[in-house]
Amino acid sequence: MKNNIAAKVFGIIILLLLVGLGIYYAYTQYTYSEGTRAGILMKYSTKGYVFKTHEGQLNLGGVSAQGNTLVNNFWDFSVRDEKVSKQLESLEGRKVQLHYKQIIHQFKWQGETPYFVDKVTEIE
Protein backbone atom coordinates (compact mmCIF):
# COMPACT_ATOMS: atom_id res chain seq x y z
CA MET A 1 0.00 0.00 0.00
CA LYS A 2 2.79 2.46 0.92
CA ASN A 3 4.66 1.63 -2.30
CA ASN A 4 1.53 2.38 -4.34
CA ILE A 5 1.12 5.83 -2.74
CA ALA A 6 4.84 6.61 -3.18
CA ALA A 7 4.65 5.62 -6.86
CA LYS A 8 1.63 7.91 -7.40
CA VAL A 9 3.34 10.84 -5.66
CA PHE A 10 6.52 10.25 -7.69
CA GLY A 11 4.45 10.10 -10.91
CA ILE A 12 2.69 13.37 -10.08
CA ILE A 13 6.01 15.08 -9.32
CA ILE A 14 7.48 13.91 -12.64
CA LEU A 15 4.36 15.02 -14.53
CA LEU A 16 4.47 18.48 -12.90
CA LEU A 17 8.17 18.78 -13.69
CA LEU A 18 7.59 17.92 -17.37
CA VAL A 19 4.68 20.36 -17.64
CA GLY A 20 6.79 23.08 -15.99
CA LEU A 21 9.69 22.47 -18.37
CA GLY A 22 7.32 22.59 -21.33
CA ILE A 23 5.87 25.92 -20.18
CA TYR A 24 9.38 27.32 -19.60
CA TYR A 25 10.51 26.24 -23.08
CA ALA A 26 7.43 27.84 -24.70
CA TYR A 27 7.99 31.05 -22.72
CA THR A 28 11.66 31.34 -23.69
CA GLN A 29 10.85 30.87 -27.38
CA TYR A 30 8.26 33.67 -27.36
CA THR A 31 9.04 36.40 -29.91
CA TYR A 32 9.80 39.49 -27.87
CA SER A 33 10.31 41.76 -30.90
CA GLU A 34 10.86 41.56 -34.62
CA GLY A 35 12.07 43.92 -37.30
CA THR A 36 14.68 44.56 -39.96
CA ARG A 37 18.23 45.85 -40.00
CA ALA A 38 20.28 46.86 -43.01
CA GLY A 39 24.01 47.10 -43.50
CA ILE A 40 27.03 45.31 -44.90
CA LEU A 41 27.40 41.64 -44.03
CA MET A 42 30.87 41.54 -42.51
CA LYS A 43 31.16 38.02 -41.18
CA TYR A 44 29.27 34.76 -41.37
CA SER A 45 30.42 31.47 -39.85
CA THR A 46 29.45 28.15 -38.30
CA LYS A 47 30.57 27.71 -34.70
CA GLY A 48 30.50 25.06 -32.02
CA TYR A 49 31.87 21.67 -31.05
CA VAL A 50 28.88 19.37 -30.69
CA PHE A 51 26.03 21.73 -31.53
CA LYS A 52 26.87 23.78 -34.63
CA THR A 53 25.31 27.23 -34.82
CA HIS A 54 25.33 29.80 -37.62
CA GLU A 55 26.48 33.25 -36.51
CA GLY A 56 26.89 36.51 -38.40
CA GLN A 57 27.82 40.13 -37.99
CA LEU A 58 26.30 43.10 -39.79
CA ASN A 59 27.98 46.51 -40.02
CA LEU A 60 25.15 49.01 -39.60
CA GLY A 61 27.38 51.96 -40.49
CA GLY A 62 29.42 54.55 -38.70
CA VAL A 63 28.25 56.32 -35.58
CA SER A 64 29.70 59.71 -34.76
CA ALA A 65 31.61 59.76 -31.50
CA GLN A 66 33.18 62.80 -29.85
CA GLY A 67 34.84 65.06 -32.36
CA ASN A 68 35.13 63.75 -35.91
CA THR A 69 35.73 60.11 -35.03
CA LEU A 70 33.48 57.49 -36.65
CA VAL A 71 32.88 54.26 -34.75
CA ASN A 72 31.54 51.19 -36.54
CA ASN A 73 28.23 49.89 -35.27
CA PHE A 74 28.15 46.08 -35.45
CA TRP A 75 25.11 43.86 -34.86
CA ASP A 76 25.53 40.15 -34.10
CA PHE A 77 22.86 37.63 -35.09
CA SER A 78 22.17 33.90 -35.35
CA VAL A 79 20.47 31.80 -38.03
CA ARG A 80 18.44 28.60 -37.61
CA ASP A 81 17.23 28.00 -41.19
CA GLU A 82 19.67 26.22 -43.55
CA LYS A 83 18.19 27.98 -46.63
CA VAL A 84 18.81 31.41 -45.08
CA SER A 85 22.28 30.25 -44.01
CA LYS A 86 23.26 29.31 -47.58
CA GLN A 87 21.91 32.64 -48.84
CA LEU A 88 23.99 34.59 -46.31
CA GLU A 89 27.18 32.68 -47.18
CA SER A 90 26.93 33.98 -50.76
CA LEU A 91 26.26 37.60 -49.69
CA GLU A 92 29.26 38.25 -47.43
CA GLY A 93 30.68 41.73 -48.07
CA ARG A 94 27.46 42.97 -49.68
CA LYS A 95 24.71 45.30 -48.49
CA VAL A 96 21.73 43.37 -47.17
CA GLN A 97 18.48 43.83 -45.26
CA LEU A 98 17.84 41.18 -42.62
CA HIS A 99 14.47 40.39 -41.04
CA TYR A 100 14.86 39.03 -37.51
CA LYS A 101 12.93 37.86 -34.48
CA GLN A 102 14.25 38.45 -30.98
CA ILE A 103 13.38 35.78 -28.45
CA ILE A 104 13.45 36.11 -24.68
CA HIS A 105 16.08 33.42 -24.07
CA GLN A 106 17.98 31.15 -26.43
CA PHE A 107 19.53 27.84 -25.54
CA LYS A 108 23.22 27.32 -26.42
CA TRP A 109 22.39 24.82 -29.17
CA GLN A 110 20.20 27.41 -30.93
CA GLY A 111 22.71 30.23 -31.29
CA GLU A 112 24.86 32.73 -29.44
CA THR A 113 22.48 35.69 -29.72
CA PRO A 114 18.76 36.19 -29.07
CA TYR A 115 18.36 37.64 -32.61
CA PHE A 116 17.40 35.03 -35.22
CA VAL A 117 17.40 36.05 -38.89
CA ASP A 118 14.67 34.41 -40.95
CA LYS A 119 14.74 36.42 -44.21
CA VAL A 120 17.48 38.03 -46.29
CA THR A 121 17.15 40.65 -49.04
CA GLU A 122 20.13 41.94 -50.99
CA ILE A 123 20.19 45.72 -51.42
CA GLU A 124 21.40 46.90 -54.82
Q: How confident is the prediction along the chain (124 residues), in pLDDT tens digits per residue?
A: 667 888 888 999 999 999 999 988 888 778 889 999 999 999 999 888 888 889 999 998 766 666 666 667 899 999 988 899 999 999 988 999 999 999 888 777 778 899 999 999 999 7
Beta-bridge partners for 101: 34, 116
pLDDT of residue 88: 93
pTM: 0.75
| Among 34, 33, 46, CA closest to 92 | 46
Instruction: Note the CATH number of domain 31-122.
Output: 2.40.50.140
Give the start-to-end residue ranges of the domains of the chain: 31-122
Cα separation values, 97 from 16, 21, 85, 89, Å: 43, 35, 14, 14
